[in-house]
Structure 1
């Protein structure tokens, strides 16, 4: 009998639940609004009780505790999402369904899917949206020691036209997330990104910051590929702007044979790589067992 695998993309706005087959094809999916912790988790359980799977992977907004030896394993930690701090999203689902569950960050799920879709074992994935998250995979394994990487909060150099902007990160002000996330656009201009003119200098400032993050990643990790996704990257002109700044910042220090193959947007629209990644991570649980 064919195995079925489950995916939960646990986001601050919605939880996307999906069931897939051995070919990573979606059989059925449902978007559940992220309301209260109790109501949302109950609806997730009901979905998978109706649509049984053999194993499940959850990619969650964070920060989260991924240490299986920790008492808080499976918990969303100090999140700004009201009502979701220090709640465990793995335990109640596992008790109800009694199946193996893999728990990771939402951006890890996306990165794992892109690893499969691009056929490479060494990549970095940045998601640039309401917040900024990052994932790194080396030799097919997620990088992370006592916790998952927080690439969105790395410190970067200010753009000359942006020196008076303090950033929007409540913890660090002008870190990468504070300067390059979606809310930073509105904080500077009073407009959301989709309302901003394509020739606005803010786009170039954003691209400069994202390019710095990719430069840092390139020099520290040396991946085969960098994927840049998220809502800000839905502006199609952004990719070329980022590549332009990256080339200037790198200044040929290390060899990048083809920048168009090195810096890319996701292979699947609407964050579909996260669903594929979760199917594969769920499948791995059964292979290991």
Structure 2
């Protein structure tokens, strides 16, 4: 008989909510629970209480909001760094969980975790190099090559690239406190609301916002294609729930790429296969990878 797989814990730590799970992998979740993200003390106490119900955990994986320190050789590995989320800057998230349970803990950004899950189990299973981009409260991206997360001194910040502005779209300065009109400052959910007063999905289908946002996201896709030559770019996040936006992005990317790339925009740009569980699934994979290592 095949040996039983080890029991794993998973945490998708978001700025609004923590999603907690226990199982032997993303395909076999025994229990899952969601708690609101309050202050670190309260949130971590509830997280610990959830995992204490499950004896025999072998490892825990965490995909967290950031910015964070993912380099295991760094003095602040496992910490959330200077974040706008009140009270969470310098929180030793991974370290506190590791010390409490005496277990190995995998730690990375929530978008890297989602990227890992889509690469191994989702829409980018066939890709040698894939990129996952979430467009929501912020814009973030993760890069996977040969099944592994790519990162050096930090983690990719695709949301802070600057797309080419349309000639007739120069008045809006953007909402990013660091860069103004970077991609996040132009096309994230809060940027859309700041500019037009409503979310993209609530604006009329013929509103100018749809073409403008699709254009900026298409610019991002083509920049990623030119820089990383991915086989797949998976677009997720709340803004991507807007009807027709995905199709607009693909059409704009194709119209703007000049036929230059080996793979067409239709082949490369994809919808997520795992949907809302991609981050939690990735956290399970972070835990499983520790045991393999």
Q: Which runs of no fewer than 5 residues in structure 2 stay unpaired?
A: none
* Partner SS for 1:87: coil
C-alpha offsets along residues 154-178 of structure 1, whole Å, 9 cap, x if unaligned? 1111123421000010111000100
C-alpha offsets along residues 162-203 of structure 1, whole Å, 9 cap, x if unaligned? 210000101110001001101111111111233222221101
In structure 1, the partner of 2:287 is 282
In structure 1, the partner of 2:11 is 8
1:82 corresponds, among 79, 86, 89, to 86
In structure 2, the partner of 1:92 is 96
In structure 2, the partner of 1:162 is 169
Matches of 1:287 and 1:35 in 2, distance apart? 33
Q: TM-score, normalised by structure 1?
A: 0.95
In structure 2, the partner of 1:242 is 249
* Partner SS for 2:18: strand
Q: Does 1:196 align with 2:193?
A: no
| Residue pair 1:24, 1:280 contacting (<8 A) in 2 also | no
Moved over 4 A (4+): none
Aligned-pair distance for 1:223?
A: 0.7
In structure 1, the partner of 2:230 is 223
Matches of 2:74 and 2:25 in 1, distance apart? 32
Matches of 1:164 and 1:191 in 2, distance apart? 18
Q: Does 1:57 align with 2:64?
A: no
| Residue pair 1:108, 1:142 contacting (<8 A) in 2 also | yes
Matches of 1:161 and 1:241 in 2, distance apart? 19
In structure 2, the partner of 1:43 is 46
Task: From the superposition, tell whether residues 165 and 286 of structure 1 become closer, same or farther in structure 2 (CA, over 3 Å).
Answer: same
In structure 2, the partner of 1:262 is 268
In structure 2, the partner of 1:108 is 112
The number of aligned residues is 286
C-alpha offsets along residues 215-257 of structure 1, whole Å, 9 cap, x if unaligned? 1110110011000000000113111110111012211111214
Matches of 1:69 and 1:23 in 2, distance apart? 28
Matches of 2:227 and 2:147 in 1, distance apart? 17
Q: Which runs of no fewer than 5 residues in structure 1 stay unpaired?
A: none
